[in-house]
Amino acid sequence: MQASRTMVCQTAVSQTVRSLRIRGMRHKATWSSSWTRSRLTSVQSYGGIGTEDSSFVVTTEQCRQHPGWRSYSSNRNQRRLHTSSVHSSSAAAMTTSPDTNVDNTSMNDDVRRIAEANMALLFREETPHWQEHTERRTKRNGIRALSAVDYELGDLPEWDDAEEEEEYVEGDQSDESSSEEVRPPVEAKSHSMADLLERFNPEVEMPPHSNLEDVQLWLECDSQRESVLKYERTIQDARQRKDFASMSSVQRQVLNWYETLKDRIETEQLNYLSADKKTRKDMHSYGPYLCALQSEKIAVICSHQAMLAILSSGSNRIPVVTIALKIGTAIEAEVNVQRLLRQRMDASQRPEKDPKDEDKKESVDEHTDSVDIESKTDHGLSELKDTPMGLSKRWSYGASHLQQFIDESSRNEVGNKKTRIRIDRANQRALRLLNSSEEWPKTHKIKLGCTLVKFLLDDAKVRGEGNKQEDAFVYEKERKGHNKFMGVVGLNDQLYKLIMEDDVDVFSSMATHNRPMVIPPRDWTDPNDGGYCAVKVELMRTNGCRSQREALQESNLDSVYDGLNVLGKVPWVINKEILRVAHDCWENNIPLGDIPTQTNYNVPDQPIRPERQTDLVLDDKESETYKASVMEYKAYRESTRKFLRMKQKNMDLNSLRCSTMLKLNQADLFQDFENIYFPYNLDFRGRAYPIPPHLSNVGSDLSRGVLKFSKKKPLGPRGLYWLKVHLANLAGADKMSFEKRAEFTEKHMDSVRAAVMDPLGEDRWWTTLDDPFQGLATCHEIVNAIDSGDPATYEGSLPVHMDGSCNGLQHYAALGRDTIGGKAVNLCKADGPQDVYIGVMHEVIRRVAEEAKRELDFDHSNIDDLNPSDLAALRKNRAAKLVHGLIDRGVVKRTVMTSVYGVTFIGARQQIQEKITEKLEEKGADVDELTDEIYSACSYLAKETMEVMGELFVGARQTMNWLASCARLISQQGQPVAWISPIGVPAVQPYRQSRQFTVVTLLQSVVLTDNSDDLPLHSQRQVTAFPPNYVHSLDSSHMLLTALEMDRRGLTFSAVHDSFWTHPADIDEMNKVLRETFIELYDQPLLENLKRTWELRYPSLEFPELPERGTLNLEDVRDAPYFFQ
């Protein structure tokens, strides 16, 4: 049987194998028996396994290592589907099941079946311009287009002479680098990555700004490394001077535990690599991760992440699992940075290989950052050799601490063979971890994080009152429900106070990853290739959704890449005038905008729970003792509610302070650069976001206020006019015509000049604006333009915004051609802007006033005697009376705005309650005593508001209901709802049911929630979330299409979802572009295409008919002046 199988296999090789390609790497086949013996390593059998008539697929060793091949060959008749039942027509969302009735087909048919099982063909059919995409990707990557599973077998004559073709790809094309970068990470630069890494020295401060490539690398790679060296230098300098008083108070406290924590971590690393088998077994799950970095780095990461997580949480007590996961994720990120840098350095320095050597097996650590150059000793252990790279590379990219531990252990146990074997296995586990780019398991990260939190709790000490040593971090157990407790960690009160009183720079080393860039981001060319030079980021924030990642890999994303590249290449600069004022407000405790007060609210003493009266007879409710007990408990409950409310207010202030300090720190760091950039990526719906988390144009008013375009441009004839309109918008005067908005600014010119001359003087009109820091920046630009003498030639750089008018409803109106809805949201020509919020507000006010004036026709003096219907009527009447006179546009705005995005009744009630509570507090009401009444009144108001919206926007409601009905049918098939946005983003809803499991850690047992693709769908969320998610994919398509067209016309463009930004001189041109792209978008039969796609995927389902379209003419949008305003 085996001989027959081998003969069939050799015959297959000699007759059918012409060439083999994996990821663009070509392995030419020869017809000699020596090739067959050396290259043939596996024969995969398909069809009737074990029978002589089976078909075979020949693979090489490298083919077998390909992820796509491994996943298929491990389960040949089903492509990794983890649901119990899979609809055979499922397309974009999930891979499909090939027919299990496999007949005796040829080798080409077998491979074709693998390709058909892949999602690529499904996406190619639905994605426009696939051929254009293939040609562009071929030209960009310098290779022919890849097949669905990236390898081809059979008669491929076009590959016979592949060696003679010219390649576009620069650098080495050997097997080792096939999955690495195929172009320099920094475009059009004079230095290679190897040159940059060679010069990089973590012991020096930031390189001079004349070498921006070096600066960018320093910003990405200094990470915890620069902080470690700073701590080491600070300790050394302080010891030499015998002067610790020169350090900040926070530095002194952190240094108080830094060395102890570092030694504790190093001891644990040694324990993992020691000869103690029991110790290693206990820590086998997190030991390799603990040994992935130097103890100095881990000590800094652990300290910084713990403090930052607590400070930014809004509470001084956060769950152990939260802080542990943050620490584990931060360590993983640092390891990824080092690995990527080392791989790129190796790739850039790797010499050309002889083709004869391509089959030689690489050492396990060739691409790791654990050892620079290694050889095997007599003991079978790795030894670090000296290299010419010096301290920089050794420190940054060679985790030689691992080798030192091994050497030390081998010296102590050199004669013990079993010990050497165990140590070598531990070493190999760590090396494999460092060599793998796969995401670390969540459970392992939490075990690692909990171990380090335990070290912090044990070893981190601060000096409290009387110079007494106190724990820097506090561990407590909080009750959560009946008989359930949750471990929480908090900061020592003294340490927290010192951090808040210290300089903003205390946060500088805590915000190290994903900063703004000082050179243009690398172009996106692949879902895993773009953005930063060294730090790896993904195109989409998939939250681990495997189906989404597979869909991205096989889709045409060229337009998406181009749009994100346009947004990322916009140069920005820090507005120093606004930054100076922001610092003045912060340092002088002037709360303004999103800069919070540094004074805490007065929190009453925590009330003491009254003792339970065990001798009370519950039936005797008329007894004085019983009544007194009830009153005492009610008073306790009200006091507790007030105590918790004021305590939460202070926690919220803490979070805001932390956020403010991070923003100011980032602005300080980049204020002297001529250009800074924000790389972008997407969420699963296709919405674009800047990657830097603390400072970007998508941030708060403070973040936007300290940013402006780097490129200056003359205002032209209408630029000053649009600046005046912009200032009026920021002042909230956006309910009038554009001309009246400009007049509004002109009437306040004295205050505008006062804001520029003395922003914190007597005239602080600008501080009353809705967005004060953006308003102050606009005041500066207007005054500078006027004072220049010729505003038309004044070169300004402040962006002006045009915002959609309740943009979600605009998209619904365009989808359904809803004339009434379209007029309400400014899709039609009008003399002035239509305010949909005002319309809803007026109707809600009318209903509330009518109910508040209504006289009840029954006796309600004794509530206990009322029947349910009368009791409901009484509550409704009292609710109307409580909120009557408090309703304005702001009360209903958020609910109206989020209604098209799927806001629930509970969400609407919470939004309204926030506003009503604020208004009652302004009137001096005791909101703690009125908590129940406020809750009831806001529930009533939310119900009325949602009813009014349903009546006003019938067309939008019909479209939302149709989308939800279709989503319900799909989710009932066990499939996630999936679609492709108009610009080509494949979207797969990730909502699945959660599963809880317990992980035992060194600190405590932790209950985790699993949301993997293996779990059943969360059907309700799949249905309720789809309408808003689909609309988000439409507004993101509109924004990216506008970005591409603006770039084609040579105009600067940025955006925050439905807020489009450009220079004042180009506002008129941008207004034309955004209208043209909107009409172009909705000229397509979007809903019809969506329905047709689903019918192809699910032929057994009967989807409801599309809602009847209205008569709205999309061409009216061209002349609608307030479509965006």
Any bridge partners for residue 382, and if so which? 376
396 φ, ψ (degrees, to nearest 5):
-85, -40
CA distances from 612 to 625, 863, 1100 (A): 12, 28, 63
Residues whose CB falls within 8 Å of the CB of residue 805, separated by 6 or more in sequence, listed in order: 825, 826, 833, 834, 836, 1122, 1123, 1124, 1125
463 φ, ψ (degrees, to nearest 5):
-95, 120
99 is catalytic: no
Q: Is 892 left (phi over 0), alpha (psi -120 to 50) or beta?
A: alpha
Q: Is 616 left (phi over 0), alpha (psi -120 to 50) or beta?
A: beta
Segment (H or E) for 605: none
Which tokens in the block code for residue 915? Answer: 């506003």
The one catalytic residue among 393, 893, 1013, 1035: 893
The one catalytic residue among 222, 365, 1058, 1066: 1058
Cβ(802)–Cβ(1124) below 8 Å: yes
If we measure between CA atoms, which residue out of 100, 75, 80 comes closest to residue 1014? 80
Burial (CB count within 10 angstroms: exposed 0-12, middle 13-18, buried 19+), residue 13: buried
Segment (H or E) for 402: helix 400-412
Cβ(895)–Cβ(903) below 8 Å: yes
Any bridge partners for residue 1000, and if so which? 1005
If we measure between CA atoms, which residue out of 120, 127, 165, 121 comes closest to residue 24? 165
The one catalytic residue among 407, 458, 803, 1068: 803
The end-to-end CA distance of the chain, in Å, is 78
How many residues are present in the chain?
1125
Cβ(1043)–Cβ(1055) below 8 Å: yes
Which tokens in the block code for residue 122? Answer: 């499904």
CA distances from 427 to 265, 318, 329 (A): 17, 35, 22
DSSP characters for 56-83? EEEE-HHHHHSHHHHHHHTSTTS-S--S
Vertex 86: Cα angle to 85 and 89 (nearest 5):
150
Residues whose CB falls within 8 Å of the CB of residue 848, separated by 6 or more in sequence, listed in order: 880, 883, 884, 887, 941, 944
Strand order in the sheet with 318-319: 318-319, 485-491, 473-479
Query: What is the separation of C-alpha 6 from the centre of its chain, rounded to a whole number of angstroms?
Result: 52
If we measure between CA atoms, which residue out of 314, 292, 322 comes closest to residue 429? 292
Cα 705 to Cα 815: distance, rounded to the nearest angstrom: 35
Cα 123 to Cα 136: distance, rounded to the nearest angstrom: 17
803 is catalytic: yes
Segment (H or E) for 995: strand 995-1000
Any bridge partners for residue 1007, and if so which? 998
Cα 826 to Cα 340: distance, rounded to the nearest angstrom: 50
Cα 839 to Cα 49: distance, rounded to the nearest angstrom: 71
Residues labelled catalytic: 803, 893, 1058
